[in-house]
Chain A
């Protein structure tokens, strides 16, 4: 949930990308976040090629190499477990890379889906106004008043486990934020000259909404989407922690943390701790970037 949504996007619209970039890079913390993010995303995306082991391939796991401390050398595979192994014999480093990949896929797909659905609904509401607007916004209000975690919990217990199910659940709980923001922005856009002109030309509503209004409404939506990525990752981790997210043979970060916690008490901290750090890092990095992006794009809080 965002607290200060970006307001009129006029500055951003007129600002060339270069200016945005230089403004962004002025903030060292945000730049650090961006670099951190790249350092996380690249190896995660490339996990199947860079990870020492495929932790999802159950046939390759050796129970006799479970719970090894960081730095142990595998007898059967000849690789070094730099971050140790978990209770099933998974290389924790590989599991983190693959798990992060799952987290990122879930987050990107669900946020993109929410963005598309939310923006369409928000723009439609703004363009048509009147009863359509009232009805759609009532639904949005209702959705926003209901806690995301509860809704996702119910949906997943109904849908069952699986990455696709998690994505569906997250789209359902997130689209309303985008709809609301898109509508707010579009209400301003609707009265601008270019929309009026397009209407005079009798262009179809679809064309006006998607070809003309949408591009101008994107900046605030992108800010929300960035922050929302972190929320989606956290939500997926929480759902997997509660045992209703991804399948247990393909653990995501949240599940790795949950599974490793019982080992933590007996001093085998690495199984839960490293995935926890990875989760924290990725969320913090996204927020550093998103937070600063918001400051830049929001003229009212800009100095």
Chain B
């Protein structure tokens, strides 16, 4: 393939240099959205993180299963509940050859809060940190305001920039504009910046000074192709070697295609239905005066009338796992009782509705974003058809994402389709956002659009948040999680399984966080 063989000139050059691998190689990746910036501290966005991780590294890096692993910090220790000490690697240099020290860590953490105009700031990951101090050149101490078990997980999103290269006149050093041009984009990562054309190719080349294993590729190009069908066509035509998110409709054909292979990641983001549980006349419900969703039997009926296996098979093309819980079983704090998804039970659903006083069902509007999550509208339509079958006549109201979010925040839906990605590897963040009683000041229940509220669960979550011991915390979270699910407070549908399609001869380790990192794409020998 044209893609895997370099030009004759570079091959000859590689042979003459001797040090380089014998085959020069370029990798072309079709990514599903474009980065909004190259400044690794400008905008919390998956594509931006992915691009940043080619050139930069954090102190602690998530592995494919979202478990924190040593990166620029070779070890860390929780000396007191609020004090963390990180021991930095001593053999690391930046791509410009300058050494990596504690000063770069201080600079990078200090810069986070200073980047202006950010549509979603990285302070999200540093807001628990009171101070960052250098004990010596290779030891850094971080102090949190209160005991905070998720610090290591949070800082996996804060990459380390060179304090020399990124220094500048602005308060934040090099500005976002400068970094977008490639000015000051010096990291310790396996690749270095070559070029970025907005809306088009982002190109990096191998970092000759990389401290870890040298990646296979001389250059890597990430080309944003927002249209999944166009991306698939480009892969079939061989224009790109790797594509993110192949359309689920094509997956079985891709699997059977001898030119292609599929890579999957551990299941991650949960797709769920939130139900309005406020004691009010719910806006999208007709055929009854009160809010039937206040009754746990009704919620259970809706819960078990969904054929999750059918949705996974027919709508998701097998690219999902049916969910009975809010996080997959390998996450800390998942509920063992809900590890397998329930099978559909239409008769029981009907019986429960009758028992609850709705023998003829009622009508409900199911809100859904159009184009925010994988197959969102198709999932919503399928669930609507399944609910209609047990007597709950369901109409889908699909809107463009901004309209959907507006309606959701104004609580105009009685039920809506949502999804929640968990980057921390444990249930605490999911439960805090989706289940905890909504509390604006405390920042709790920020995504709890159904306004589920259970004081016992809230108390357990507060306890877990300050429990530093992983096993103990996991047990508390499991307990809280079980309570919510036994109450049918929310309806998990499935976990998305991130997937990639590659030209045959390539393999990659799929990551739960869905980042497509070229350093983990290798050609099978």
Contacts and interface: CB of A to CB of B under 8 A. Distances in A.
**A and B touching (Cβ–Cβ under 8 A):** yes
Contact of B403 (A60, A160, A261): A160
A161 B371 CA distance: 14
A157 B247 CA distance: 26
B393 A59 contact: yes
A59 B385 contact: yes
A149 interface: no
A264 B227 CA distance: 14
Contacts of A60: 385
A67 interface: yes
Contacts of B399: 160-161
A34 to B, nearest CB: 36
A266 B233 CA distance: 10
A205 interface: no
A64 B398 CA distance: 22
Contact of B229 (A61, A67, A247, A261): A261
Interface stretch (B52-60, B248-256, B449-457, B490-498): B248-256
A46 B252 CA distance: 38
A50 interface: no
A11 interface: no
A141 interface: no
Nearest to A66: B314
Q: Is the interface of B mostly helix, strand, loop or mixed?
A: helix
A243 B400 contact: yes
Given A67-B249, A266-B253, A249 B396 contact: yes
A63 B384 contact: no
A61 B398 contact: no
Q: Is the interface of A mostly helix, strand, loop or mixed?
A: loop
A85 B378 CA distance: 14
A95 to B, nearest CB: 13
A61 B236 CA distance: 32
Contacts of A264: 229
A58 B249 contact: no
B394 A59 contact: yes
Nearest to B391: A59
Interface in B310-333: 310-311, 314-315
Contacts of B371: 243
Contact of A266 (B250, B315, B395): B250
Given A58-B385, A67-B249, A248 B394 contact: no
B165 interface: no
A268 interface: yes
Among B314, B384, B396, B403, chain A packs the most CB atoms within 10 A around the CB of: B314
A54 to B, nearest CB: 13
B370 A243 contact: yes
A248 B370 contact: yes
Contact of B314 (A64, A247, A261, A265): A64
Nearest to B228: A262
Interface string A229-249: 000000000000001100111
A247 B377 CA distance: 11
B127 interface: no
Contact of B381 (A64, A249, A265, A268): A249
B253 A248 contact: no
Contacts of A88: 378, 381-382
Contacts of A78: none
Contacts of A266: 247, 249-250, 252-254
A87 B233 CA distance: 19
Nearest to B392: A59
Contact of B310 (A64, A248, A268): A64
Interface string A252-289: 00000000011111111000000000000000000000
B382 A265 contact: no
A267 B253 contact: yes
A262 B393 contact: no
A249 B307 CA distance: 20
B385 A265 contact: no
Contacts of B315: 63, 66, 87
A67 B249 CA distance: 9
Interface string B102-141: 0000000000000000000000000000000000000000
B396 A262 contact: no
Interface string B263-288: 00000000000000000000000000
B384 A58 contact: yes
Interface in A190-240: none
A58 B228 contact: no
Given A59-B388, A59-B393, A264-B229, A248 B247 contact: no
A256 to B, nearest CB: 14
Contacts of A87: 249, 315, 378
B389 interface: yes
Contacts of B229: 261-262, 264-265
A265 B400 contact: no
Contacts of B385: 58-63, 89
B232 interface: yes
B366 to A, nearest CB: 10
A60 B253 CA distance: 28
Contacts of B247: 262-263, 265-266
Nearest to A59: B388
Contacts of A248: 370, 377, 381, 396, 398
Contacts of B393: 59
B230 to A, nearest CB: 9
A89 B310 CA distance: 13
A153 to B, nearest CB: 13
Contacts of A161: 399-400
B249 A63 contact: no
Contacts of A59: 384-385, 388-389, 393-394
Contact of B311 (A58, A63, A157, A243): A63
B253 A58 contact: no
Contacts of B233: 265
A264 to B, nearest CB: 7
Nearest to B235: A265
A88 B249 CA distance: 11
A244 B400 CA distance: 8
A58 B388 contact: yes
Interface in B475-508: none
Interface in A25-56: none
A263 to B, nearest CB: 5
Contacts of A157: 400
A280 to B, nearest CB: 19
Given A248-B381, A262-B228, A267-B253, 14 more contacts: A58-B385, A58-B394, A58-B396, A59-B394, A63-B382, A66-B314, A67-B314, A243-B400, A249-B396, A264-B229, A265-B232, A265-B253, A266-B250, A266-B253
6 contacts: A58-B394, A62-B385, A63-B386, A88-B378, A243-B370, A249-B396
Interface of A: 58-64, 66-67, 87-89, 157, 160-161, 243-244, 247-249, 261-268
Closest 10 CB pairs of A and B: A59-B388, A266-B253, A262-B247, A266-B250, A63-B314, A248-B398, A262-B229, A263-B249, A58-B384, A63-B382
